[in-house]
Amino acid sequence: MANIGLFGGTFDPIHLGHLKTVLEVKARFHIATVYLIPASRPPHKTNRAIAPPADRMAMLQLAVQQLDGLEVSQTEINRSGLSYSVETVDEFRHRFGETADLFFILGLDAFVEIHTWKTCRRLFENVAFIVMTRPGSGRRQTPPDHETLQAFLDARISDGYVFDSTTGQFQHPALQPVNLFAVTPVDVSSTGIREKISSRAPFKHLLPESVAAYINQKGLYR
């Protein structure tokens, strides 16, 4: 059974930070297909206006068009209400079966907030994680990423996780493994792009050309 990746996000908009890093993850973990799963309404980002799901979906479709093994899933957009990852994982588990190797992919900045997610414990029972390093989340003067992650797992998830430095994996006797993966840093964020667009600064180099053209055509983020 092939490895399957689940990469959730707001994707408002999708950018090169998402694409370059997830392609590295795909290659390193021999993942056949990574599903990019835009949240309908992310529970933790309710304080600002988010581009309509149809636009975020359209930009994702444009972004993955030429990329083998990346697909866009509309599952969270189709579900009404807030988007909970635990339900998304259940859905993919049902679709691919109990023996499928599912990997939930996210950046370190998002992972260290995971204890606030709905029924987070069940997520750790059901799916392995790949945590990507991200510029800004492992700044100088702060501990190395694996120490940050170990402290977080101990404090918030379970003190049973043990780090294996040869594989970069945190293993647990009862819960799914957490893989820390140092991707090539790409210092790009959707927030930064939205700010650049609204202040009329150059932004096209931060996302695929087709996505930049769509943003201009629709007048998004102005």
For ligand ATP, the binding residues (CB under 6 A) are: 9-12, 17-18, 21, 106-107, 109-110, 132, 134, 186, 188-191
Bridge partners of 192, per DSSP, are none
Name the residue with the smallest CB distance to ligand ATP.
107
Task: Please list, in sequence order, all residues whose beta carbon lies within 8 angstroms of the beta carbon of residue 109, skipping any fewer than 6 positions away.
Answer: 134, 136, 137
Nearest approach in angstroms of CB 44 to ligand ATP is: 9
Query: Nearer Cβ to ligand ATP, position 31 or 106?
Result: 106
Nearest approach in angstroms of CB 24 to ligand ATP is: 10
Decide: helix, strand or coil at residue 72.
strand
Query: Nearer Cβ to ligand ATP, position 101 or 109?
Result: 109
Strands (E), the chain: 3-9, 31-38, 70-72, 101-107, 128-132, 162-164, 169-171, 178-181
Nearest approach in angstroms of CB 48 to ligand ATP is: 8
Query: Nearer Cβ to ligand ATP, position 13 or 170?
Result: 13
Nearest approach in angstroms of CB 173 to ligand ATP is: 27
What residue type is 40 in one-letter code? S
Query: Nearer Cβ to ligand ATP, position 52 or 97?
Result: 52
Nearest approach in angstroms of CB 101 to ligand ATP is: 20
Query: Nearer Cβ to ligand ATP, position 113 or 159?
Result: 113
